[in-house]
Structure formats: structure tokens, C-alpha cells
Amino acid sequence: MSLLVVGTVAFDAIETPFGKTDKILGGAATYIGLAASYFTKEINLVSVVGGDFPKENIDMLNNHHINTDGLQIIKEGKTFFWSGKYHNDMNTRDTIITELNVLETFDPIVPEEYQDCELLMLGNLSPQVQLRVLAQLKTRPKLIVLDTMNFWMDIALPDLLTIIIKVDVLAVNDGEARQLSGEYSLVKAAQKILAMGPQYLIIKKGEHGALLFNKDQVFFAPALPLEEVFDPTGAGDSFAGGFIGYLAQTKDISFENMKRAIIFGSATASFCVEKFGTENLVGLTQEQVDDRVQEFIDLVQFDISLV
């Protein structure tokens, strides 16, 4: 199944207890696309960068089967820049700098050749921009996955609720699920959020794993216990990219297959956090991915037969 990915392509400067980077490649769509590239070769990107964005980065994306015809390059503009510093526990971070730059006036254009995409992954971005992408699609994709964050709940809730009705899978973290629903219990939060429109809800819990809900079922996948989390940036996006990439590869959007996709997404995210930025996502082998998935199987599978 062909995949359309919409989201940011950015520069990040990251500081963690393990070190510090200059401006490196980042952005939700970058992580999503790279993660998905281990599962499918039909990835189409809609995003925006400035004249400062190096051609090598575009080449690298193309080499990962990511079609960048929908990547607008605003020559006179500068690429979106985010800088953040993680605290010692790696679960919390402070944003040091946010320079929206070309993102401020981003008007997404879906190229004609992308119109037949069967899967749409809307990475974290303004709900207005996400809605403008949806409005351009002549045929509704078979599955629309939306990733968003508390920032949009704070400043653009009506637009966010408008797009949430239109998607099939919503992905948020645990704090965001609580904020959106007003419920502390994630089970109750899920029920309320599913009543807002989406058929499936993914609640990402970082190092504590992820939950997949539909109206009647719930599935849980842990995060892999790692010796060291080096840089959590992009973990949620890599998870989403592995998830949707696996669905694209297997051409099956049932709940049972989404469970498998959650495991592949978790495996991809576990690679992401082991190095700075996208460093670990650019050169994985199929064998590495399979070995990592096997670690998940070994981690959680048990054999109980109830009589």
C-alpha cells in the first residue's frame, strides 16, 4: 500500500545527559519516513524546508524510498528549528528555542501523483494544515493515522476536534490522552476519545510502552528495556513510522495486524533512542529489525493454557 506522510522536516539541536549536538536533521515526517522505509518502498512526503536545507539530506531521504516531490523548498526562507534539553530522567525536557521559520506560512500542496495513496500518516503539525491536506485528497485513504500533541490541545482545540472526527487512528501520549478526555484512568480516557470519532486509539507511554484500543479490545506492547536511552527525540515518530510502514507492507488494516504493527513500531523506536537524532535510523538492516522484534517476542510471550 502506498503511503503519504505529512509532517515537519526540521533542524534540531539536542542536549541530553550523554552529550549535545549542533543542528542536526529532525522533524516528525523525517523520523516517520525513515522508520517506514524499513517496511515499504512507496513513501510520499508533504512538508516544507528553507533554502538552508542541504541537498544531501534530500538525497538521503530519496535513498530511503521517500519521494520528496511534495517537499516545498522555500529558497528565501529558513528551515524550522527546535532546540531542547532533556532532564536526567530523560522523561522530561525543556524547549530552549522554537523558530517556526518556513513552517509559519506553510501551505501544504499534495502533488497529483500522490492522490492514490492508500495510507495517510498525519505527523504532529497544526490541525489547520492537517485539515488542508485532507481537503485536497480526491479519494479518502483506506486508513488515516493522526499524531498530535498537547500544544494543539492548548491553542487549537476546535480545529483538532474537527480533524479527530475524520481520522481512523489517533496517536497521543498518556498525558495528552488525559488532557483530551479529562479522565485520569487511561481506560476511561480511551472510551471518551473513541467517542470523539476515531475507531482506534494509540496511547504512547514512552519507556512504559504503548496501548492500542478499539471499542471492544485493548492491546499492550512494552518498550524494550534498554541499557541506555541516549536521546528520546523522535521516538514517538519512529514508532508511528514503523507502525504505518508495517501496515503498508502487509496490506492489512485489521486490529490483529495493528497489534503486530505496534510491535514493529516499538522495535523501530527502540533503535531511534539508542543514538542521537536520526543517526540510528539511516542504516538498519532487515536482520537487525527482525532480531529486535524477536527480542520483543522473547520479552512478553508466555505460554498459559487455562483449562
Q: What's the one-letter identity of residue 72?
A: Q
| Closest separation in Å from C-beta 265 to a second copy | 12
* Residue 120 binding a second copy, by CB under 8 A: no
- Enumerate residues 6+ apart whose C-beta is below 8 A from 158: none
| Closest separation in Å from C-beta 75 to a second copy | 45
Size of the residue set binding a second copy (CB under 8 A): 39
Question: Rg for the chain (alpha carbons), in Å?
Answer: 18
52 Rama class: left (phi>0) / alpha (psi -120 to 50) / beta = alpha
Output 158 or 225, the one with its CB closest to a second copy: 225
Span from 27-35, 66-74, 131-139, 258-266 in contact with a second copy (CB under 8 A): 258-266
Kindly identify the residues of this chain, within the stretch 156-195, that bind a second copy according to CB under 8 A.
184-188
* Residue 93 binding a second copy, by CB under 8 A: no
Output 135 or 297, the one with its CB closest to a second copy: 297
For the record, the C-alpha cell of 276 comes out as 542521537
* Residue 209 binding a second copy, by CB under 8 A: yes
- Give the number of C-alpha atoms closer than 13 A to the C-alpha of residue 155, restricted to the C-beta side: 8
**Do the Cβ atoms of 167 and 130 come closer than 8 Å?**
no
Q: How far apart are CA 117 and CA 299, in angstroms?
A: 35
Output 97 or 297, the one with its CB closest to a second copy: 297
Q: How far apart are CA 172 and CA 167, in angstroms?
A: 13
* Residue 89 binding a second copy, by CB under 8 A: yes
Give the angle subtended at the CA of 304 by the CAs of 302 and 307, to the nearest 5°.
170
Contact characters 39-78, a second copy, x per CB under 8 A: ----------------------------------------
* Residue 155 binding a second copy, by CB under 8 A: no
Residue from 9, 143, 211, 253 touching a second copy (CB under 8 A): that is 211
Residue from 220, 274, 275, 288 touching a second copy (CB under 8 A): that is 220
- Enumerate residues 6+ apart whose C-beta is below 8 A from 44: 2, 3, 4, 5, 66, 67, 69, 70, 111, 113, 114, 117
Output 115 or 185, the one with its CB closest to a second copy: 185
DSSP assignments along 103-123, one per residue? GGG------GGGTT-SEEEE-
| Closest separation in Å from C-beta 204 to a second copy | 13
Contact characters 259-288, a second copy, x per CB under 8 A: xx-xx-------------------------
Contact characters 226-245, a second copy, x per CB under 8 A: xxxx----------------
- Enumerate residues 6+ apart whose C-beta is below 8 A from 307: none
Residues near a second copy (CB under 8 A): 88-89, 184-188, 205, 208-209, 211, 217-222, 225-229, 256, 259-260, 262-263, 290, 293-294, 297-304, 306
